[in-house]
Structure 1
């Protein structure tokens, strides 16, 4: 036996208990089972988490993935039934490296001996790295029964999972192992009188019974190839459900984290951000009565004398800050456009309605000016306080985007707003994968099998063009450990990771298994019914930031072929980035275009055809193909500013027909 205690963690999966911990009964009862084995076990913590796949996977990953400080045994209680919200098996199964069906069988056999309803449980057991994981029902009675059925065998299993030498562990034979575990051997004949084979106290595989073997392999969740399996043991076709583009986009929006508000100063860096608050004017615009023409400030009264005649010029008011003297009766003041009216002035007469009568002795200023009209009215040529924007008025609303046109930025500046709350933009990292991929600028000729990396610079340029910061994550090699480490390093730098390559069905396509098996991520879709881009993959991975707070990282694993990578980045990555920073509607703008020639249709998949769209003299948008659409053909990207949405079907779309197009770039003018 081990000289130090084994560490256990209890995860209580329950939305109800998460909201009100006092409703939980399973946690304390499971702790009591471990207390009865206090010489062997130490419960490091008991934690209540919501009935959510990402939450379960995140906490399991935290328990297992730190090689220096891991939990030996995790037991989850709850979420193993048939209810719609019961998702614990779906959360745990993709995280398991090696399954332990014997433990599942032992638990079910023990429970079935007491109630036939035990068959309604869907337990999962297995090993992730050095940690044994077991799921049990949420009812206190069922949870205890299941744990008690296997707890005496668990130390042996945990020590083996931790790497203790099996030869040493088994040195005394089976009887010694049973004695150490507190088990009593029974004659083989006795087993014929037990219900369902093994009783709760028997070590699995040692009693003479053959464990039942299923003839099919049903899966709660599809899971990718195990990289350790040989090529002949791998899937011959993808285990992932085929999603439509619409359903795939819906999943992306559903699993993209909500926008996060941040404070930013009002300057050029604000462009492209979306306001997270309504903005009220802190000042009126204009803040003072101002002239809208060059001329002379005068005092006009309906009962007073006519404005026609000669007047002494008492002062000058420029559009510069400073003290403006009061206008005395019978005098006028020279004033420039935008300058404040002197106190006492009511109107401004245009300079065109005056003539200069005399200058001062030094010849530098006007002394006497004659006004030629008596039709000037009160408030004429005067912009009143708040006539543009009133104090306290809502000038911009939550959800408004600060555009590069500049109007919104100018508006904020004009009403004295020094900083605003906006939604933070996600930082995106772009990574290429594959031993065959080399830097595009590497000098010298390519060796046989090498390809220059055009995907990374292309996608990074698109992301910058969308207005987001992007990090170059380089090229990851086709080895499980190297890819996992590259992704872990990336998650510390960026919130969204874009990879290209490694998502098809080849022996070296490691992204899906690395995400599922090594990072504890959830693959929400692994195939899309589209052309090009069928193997596009979207996943979320639980991540703990430097402050220890749980976060979610998004991974978009795009196909390696250049055209596929570009098309899928526009179709799937862009809507997620828009969703994450509050831009609505998310994704590419749409337009209806006229086909300039006939287009063939794919019989099975909807096609997103690279096209050049121009505006012609008839006032309509016209589309023509950029040429051969093979997914590996880089040339099909040249000049493409739109994706034509062609439905699956037989035959052709004729010249002149109208289809929906997604606009990727600047529309060209009439040709």
Structure 2
């Protein structure tokens, strides 16, 4: 069995104690294997699920040539046959769902409404606002419309047999409408990824428990729960686990037995009570345990098994996140999120960055990637500007609520001067 450590050591810039963020992302991506189980769910239950198979159109969309607007359907040949002004007799009317079934003479037309089937032989629609009506006769300038104008062709949107949606897509509201338009009521989706998570630390208390001196309420589990739910993942909250080897071992093995991924917060740095790292050396496999990033330096990635040693029992990918609240969120979004999407079967796309001018000096040390919290705004000219939220301590969770973006400072970058351009990752669509 190839270990994660053996594989990771082949990655450029590999340093398990201070791994660059891009190298860590590459390692995690290689071991994020999509779930294979497929479920068929009713269309109403498919929102935000990952499409398991291509949706193939069983019919032409639209099914028939139809009018793109209210007007009069005619044969385009009359545009050249009748000189500067075209005069036609109205033979009847076609409405959406009520086609005109008669024959249309070369010098006749049919009153049509948007979406109505084009009458046989007609290939052009002249908009009603360009037409002068007199009884059952219409007149309009011949140059007012071109041949084939204002007609939607059968199969123009989707030809029969073509892929309407590709596998790996996270289904959106518009996708459900598209699937419904094809007459499909049941959708094949990947099963939801299962992620077990817990916090470690003797100082942590759950909501509702008394807060003794030196103790704090556990916020990380609630943050993780919300971030997982946003990805439409099945979360399994295992609570707070004390800094006791037996309790931690039981929790890790139980999590591996019941989930595809195990997330912990706290317990992976160098403190004497940080036991998670030690336990993983017994029945786990660790690729790295420290990143060249801020916040979020202490982050472990590997595998854990439900049995007594590596390779025994059920396996799960493992992410040991830091204990500080902001560091939990930063490492989740920069390292964990993409892996969970890939494992869910989604075609994960990089989160887009935009350029903004820094409103002030930002101190930055070369040799690590930094994700500072910021507030991005656009000025009257449409130019983006960004200001750090103040204290960038990884324990100040209120800064995440105040901010609307990450200021992304690359590994090789040094200090930023006021007015200099920086990369910004907006929270909208992410958090």
TM-score by length of 1: 0.53
Q: Which structure carries more relative contact order (alpha carbon 8 Å, separation 6+)?
A: 2
Give the match for residue 225 of structure 1.
Answer: none
* Alpha-carbon distance, 1:436 to partner: 2.0
- Which of 102, 105, 110 aligns to 1:326? It is 102
Q: 2:234 and 2:227 mapped to 1: Cα distance?
A: 11
Match of 1:455 among 220, 223, 231: 220
Q: CA deviation at 1:403?
A: 5.7
Once the two structures are overlaid, the 10-residue window that deviates more, 558-567 or 326-335, is 326-335
Offset of residue 500 of structure 1: 0.9
> Larger Cα Rg: Structure 1 or Structure 2?
1
CA distance in 2, matches of 1:654, 1:380: 56
Equivalents in 1 of 2:353, 2:44: separation in Å? 28
2:195 counterpart residue number: 428
Change (3 A) 1:479 1:354: same
Q: Deviations over 1:15-51 (max 9, x none)?
A: xxxxxxxxxxxxxxxxxxxxxxxxxxxxxxxxxxxx4
Residue pair 2:267, 2:274 contacting (<8 A) in 1 also? yes
Q: Say whether the 8 Å CA contact 1:612–1:642 is kept in structure 2.
A: yes
Of residues 308, 333, 354, the one that matches 2:87 is 308
Structure 1 residue 515 and structure 2 residue 280: aligned? yes
Contact 2:20 2:411 in 1 (8 A): no
SS in 2 for 1:653: coil
1:439 aligns with 2:206: yes
User: Does the Cα contact within 8 Å between 1:285 and 1:387 map onto a contact in 2?
Assistant: yes
- Residue in structure 2 matching 1:289, options 65, 75, 84: 65
Does the C-alpha gap of structure 1 residues 379 and 617 become closer, same or farther in structure 2, counting only changes over 3 Å?
closer
Structure-2 separation of matches of 1:241 and 1:355: 82
Q: 1:456 deviation in Å? A: 1.5
| Residue aligning to 1:581 | 344
Secondary structure in structure 2 of the residue aligned to 1:638: helix
For 2:41 and 2:385, the matched residues in 1 are separated by 43
- Spell out, residue by residue over 1:229-270, the C-alpha distance to the aligned partner (whole angstroms, 9 max, x if none): xxxxxxxxxx96332323222221222224536354573554
Of the three residues 19, 25, 44, the one matched with 1:249 is 25
Q: Is the 8 A contact 2:374 2:407 kept in 1?
A: yes
Q: Distance in 1 between matches of 2:124 and 2:423?
A: 57
Change in CA separation of 1:294 and 1:602 when aligned onto 2, cut-off 3 Å: closer
- The separation in 2 between residues aligned to 1:651 and 1:282, in whole angstroms, is 56
CA contact (8 A) 2:229 2:235 kept: yes
Correspondent of 1:388 among 146, 152, 157 = 157
Task: Say whether the 8 Å CA contact 1:464–1:470 is kept in structure 2.
Answer: yes
Aligned 8 A contact 2:76 2:124 in 1: yes
Distance in 1 of aligned mates of 2:19 and 2:126: 72
C-alpha distance in structure 2 between counterparts of 1:606 and 1:380, whole Å = 55
What are the Cα deviations for residues 337-385 of structure 1, in whole angstroms up to 9, with x where unaligned?
212234565655654535464xxxxxxxxxxx23234858875644332
| Residues in 1 aligned to 2:88 and 2:406: alpha-carbon distance in whole angstroms | 71
| Partner SS, residue 522 of structure 1 | strand
**Does 1:479 pair with 2:258?**
no
Match of 1:559 among 289, 300, 322: 322
SS across alignment from 1:527? coil
Query: In the alignment, which residue of structure 2 is the partner of 1:464?
Result: 229
**2:402 counterpart SS class:** coil
1:433 Cα shift? 1.9
Map 1:149-298 to 2 at 5 A. 241-258=17-34, 260=36, 262-265=38-41, 267=43, 269-273=45-49, 275=51, 277-296=53-72
Range with greater deviation from structure 2 (407-416 or 554-563): 407-416
Tell me, in whole angstroms, the C-alpha distance in 1 between the residues paired with 2:75 and 2:399.
72
Mapped to 1, the partners of 2:68 and 2:298 lie a distance apart of: 63
Q: 1:586 to 1:493 in 2, by over 3 A?
A: farther
Once the two structures are superposed, the pairs formed by residues 525-540 of structure 1 within 5 Å of their partners are 525-540=288-303
Query: Cα gap change, 1:345/1:486 in structure 2, threshold over 3 Å: closer, same or farther?
Result: same
CA distance in 1, matches of 2:330, 2:200: 18
> 1:536-592 deviations in whole A, cap 9, x for unaligned?
111212459xxxx98631221111111221221122111211332354555543344
User: What residue number does 1:504 align with?
Assistant: 269
Structure 1 match to 2:12:
none
Task: Measure how far apart 1:650 and its partner are.
Answer: 11
Is the contact made by 1:641 and 1:666 (CA closer than 8 Å) also made in structure 2?
Answer: no
**TM-fit CA distance, 1:325:** 3.4
Say what the alpha-carbon RMSD is for the aligned residues.
Answer: 4.1
Please report how far the alpha carbon of residue 514 of structure 1 lies from its aligned counterpart in structure 2 after TM superposition.
3.4
Give the unaligned 5+ runs of structure 2.
10-14
Pair 1:373–1:309, CA change in 2 (3 A): same
Which one has a larger percent helix, Structure 1 or Structure 2? 1
Check 1:528–1:416 CA distance in 2 against 1; reply closer, same or farther (3 A cut).
same
Q: Distance in 2 between matches of 1:619 and 1:248?
A: 35
Contact 2:405/2:426 (8 A) holds in 1: yes
Structure 2 residue corresponding to 1:338, chosen from 102, 112, 115: 115
CA distance in 2, matches of 1:551, 1:604: 37
Q: Secondary structure at the match of 1:475?
A: strand
| Residues 468, 650 of structure 1: alpha-carbon distance in 2 compared, 3 angstrom cutoff | closer
Match of 1:638 in 2: 401
Q: Distance in 2 between matches of 1:388 and 1:346?
A: 18
Q: 2:80 & 2:375 partners in 1: Cα distance?
A: 70
